Amino acid sequence: MAQAWRSAGLSWTAGGPVLIWDGGRRSALTWGKTVAFGVAEGGARTCVGARGNLCPLATRVSARSTGPRCEDCARLDRAHSVAADTLADDPRPYRVYLAWFGSGMTKVGITAERRGPARLLEQGAICFSWLGTGPLMAARRTEELLRAALRVPDRIPYAAKRAARAALPSAGEERAAEIAGLHARALGLTGWPESLEPAPFRPVDHVEAFGLAEAPAPVGVVGELAAGGALSGELVAAAGPDLHLATDRGVLVLDTRLLPGWELVPGGGRRVEVPVRALKERPTAQDGLF
């Protein structure tokens, strides 16, 4: 029987996307590389545990879920987390940012300064700009200020981000236009914490880093994995947790958050033996009643 591997998810580095495996092994992903794997026969997707500990019950989790933890382990994993607002005493500096994912889709968020732009790459931000740097709680207050005053959300559904990638403006200036306006308005607001140092508008564009400029448009999305299934394709682009794979059925999007919890084995050929659904189109405004 072939050796089985367990994925620990996708990470972004200065050199591009990297798949991480339990035990620390890393697989760098480059454009044109074949991504091929099978799912072990007779297995099931089980909880990956939390904070370095195995799930004591090896609880089964949904194959369609992008979260690979059971409820108890997910609660434990978020018990000391900036994202879950359960960590307020981190003394390290944080950055506030504006991120753009497509027309009308801008969010505000914070990330640890030490992480650089990694958080933005992980979210699939098409372009972004820093707003300021300061202590964690000052960054949180600034985030809340922008949400209330400018009605900028701090979350955007991932399916909407994915759909928006199919209709991005070709020019970088157009992609940065919305955050340019919001950045100027944000700096003009009163009520900024004194301890947060504002940052000038300097847009960073990720279209080239994601490989989206030349890649064919995807036609479908892998809906879930299943025991005995397999997938193989050539990597043509990646954004956030998504890998865009050229297969015999066209370019398919694999959300790598579906991988953890499964036992994976080496694959080959050009196989698509997993459930695939059509890529949802982004809703457009209705021109009239009929």
Model pLDDT for residues 223-250, shown as the tens digit of each residue: 999 999 999 999 999 999 999 999 999 9
User: Considering only 16-25, 86-95, 176-185, which range has the smallest mean pLDDT?
Assistant: 86-95
pLDDT at 290: 26
Sheet with 16-21: strands ordered across: 7-13, 16-21, 26-28
pLDDT over 50 (residue 289): no
pLDDT 10s digits, 160-191: 999 999 889 999 999 999 999 999 999 999 98
pLDDT at 88: 60
How many other C-beta atoms are found inside a 10 Å radius of the C-beta of residue 288? 4
Cα dihedral sign for 217, 220, 224, 226? negative
What is the residue-averaged pLDDT of the chain? 90
| Nearest-10 Cα torsion for 136, 190, 201, 102 | 80
pLDDT at 91: 82
pLDDT over 50 (residue 286): no
Question: What is the rounded distance in angstroms from the CA atom of residue 84 to the CA atom of residue 218?
Answer: 33
Residue whose entry in the numeric block shows the structure tokens 């591009």: 16
pLDDT 10s digits, 157-168: 999 999 999 889
What is the average per-residue pLDDT within 213-228?
Answer: 94
pLDDT at 87: 60
- Total H helices, total E strands in the chain: 6, 16
pLDDT at 269: 73
